[in-house]
Amino acid sequence: MFSENKEYLNPEVYPKFIKNELIESKDIGLNLYLTEPNKVYKHYLKLIFLYLIIVLVGLTVLSVGSHFLIPPVS
């Protein structure tokens, strides 16, 4: 994706965290995966754990919130 479209990454409009992740993914996609495969695995493992935590927190908030918003059936 990055090798075909150099203009894909526009870091000025993204938050700092997302910008850093996109730049790191660009480096991995262009050349790093051949020279340092361990760095690639760590990068994507970190992203998987981050997204998993986001989903679990979201589900927890949803289940706790629905418990307080929906009255119990008597």
pLDDT of 56 reads 93
pLDDT tens digit sequence for 5-63? 655 656 567 778 777 877 777 777 777 667 777 878 888 898 899 889 999 998 888 88
* Residue bearing tokens 């706790």: 64
Separation CA 36–CA 28 (nearest Å): 9
Query: What's the one-letter identity of residue 16?
Result: K
pLDDT of 35 reads 75
69 neighbors 61 (Cβ within 8 angstroms): no
DSSP H or E segment with residue 65 = helix 37-69
Separation CA 59–CA 53 (nearest Å): 10
Q: Token pair for residue 3?
A: 């090798």
